[in-house]
Amino acid sequence: HESYKWEYRYFTGTKQNYYDPENSEFSNAISMQNLNSYTYDETIESWFGSIHYEYGNRYYLDANIRGDGSSRFAKENRWGVFWSVGANWRLSQENFLKDVAWINNLALKVSYGTTGNNQIPNYYPYKDQYSVSPNGDEVSVPQVYWGNPDRTWEVSNNLNAGINASLFDARLNLNAEYFHKKTSDMLYDMPFSPSTGIPSKPMNIMTMINKGFEFTLSAVPLRTKNTSLEVILTGTTYTNSVTDLPADKVETGITHLAYYNIKDGGSVWDFYGLKSAGVDPETGDALYWHRETGENGEETLSKVTYENADAVGDKFYLGTAIPDFIGGITVNFNWKGLDFSIAGNYQIGGKVYDAMYNGLMHAGTSDGANWHKDILNAWTPENTNTNVPKLNGSINQTQALDPY
């Protein structure tokens, strides 16, 4: 059994015009400026148990179950039950491999189970919430949060299958695993029309799938009485997709040019935005692709200025932030008890939005903010063959470039 309780209390008060400069108590101040307080609390009650079974140093079985009750959900939807089962088979202990000298350990493993998530950026999402705004003797009480008592745990179903191997007196070790994670009833803030006065409502409505492969490979090419050298290589590749999404959700937190646009069948890390069509050589204006669909369903592309592209919301798929492959390399060297290590990581593929470059490609400021050197290639009547538009105080130069 596990019981968790967390409480946060906040209080602030401000008064001014102290009668006695040496007395810092509130009672010595004359005018009240501000007084505010609030309390957040959270409770989680959990019951859990596990069973472990082993036979002949070859077969292993684990089973776990737990029930969690969270105060972040309404009483009728507070509890979630989660479980897992896993098995491990040590092939190296079987008769057909037991006498193979260069195999120290070889095992197959598989597990399946569920986990729950209650992490919501609100401690009381099951009830409507209001803000009290006094104005003299009058007060307004607008609703600022749309509660949902039906909201409950987000559940992930996890499948893992892999192999563990230790070979050649543990000089070569491999841990490789396939994973498939399906998360359903996701904690999702469903967007609503701004005319409602509340931008979203908390719901359980989306499903997301992450699946891929990861491995850790270590080798010890050097091992003596006083010296050892170990090289560790890790790698992961995976895909992400969203299903059961009733409406698109657009996150505009990067810039007005770049978006995470979550679409059914796409990834939560897909970039969408205006797509550059270069610079008009005659005017120096930044151009963008605009698409239109004819009566026969055929799509045509044309070049328009930024104002026209932004007005019609021409957002194109620009790539994904998910890399094709990520991993790391670590080298450990030991000599007579002294340890030396160096570690690095790598990434192949995946888009990155260059916000620093975007900030340096502006049209000039009164305080003399720095420019990127590419600004020297901006359009002028003498320099018309360029991808940097003319300097224009109302537009950012990277609107004509690819910041990914």
Phi and psi, residue 120, nearest 5°: -120, 140
* pTM, full prediction: 0.81
The predicted-structure confidence for 33-64, as pLDDT tens digits, reads as follows 888 899 999 999 999 999 999 999 999 999 99
Mean pLDDT of the chain, nearest integer: 88
2 Cβ contact list (under 8 Å, min separation 6): 44, 45, 46, 48
Distance, in Å, from the CA atom of 120 to the CA atom of 126, rounded to the nearest integer, reads 11
* HSE-CB for 204 with a 13 A CA cutoff: 20
Residue 236 to residues 7, 143, 292, 346, 364: CA-CA distances in angstroms?
39, 45, 40, 11, 43
Distance, in Å, from the CA atom of 228 to the CA atom of 170, rounded to the nearest integer, reads 13
Distance, in Å, from the CA atom of 399 to the CA atom of 87, rounded to the nearest integer, reads 54
Give yes or no for residue 254 having a pLDDT over 60: no
87 Cβ contact list (under 8 Å, min separation 6): 59, 60, 61, 62, 109, 110, 111
The predicted-structure confidence for 136-148, as pLDDT tens digits, reads as follows 778 888 888 889 9
Distance, in Å, from the CA atom of 313 to the CA atom of 51, rounded to the nearest integer, reads 56
Mean pLDDT value of segment 77-93:
96
Give yes or no for residue 291 having a pLDDT over 60: yes
Residue 260 has a pLDDT of: 60
* HSE-CB for 122 with a 13 A CA cutoff: 21
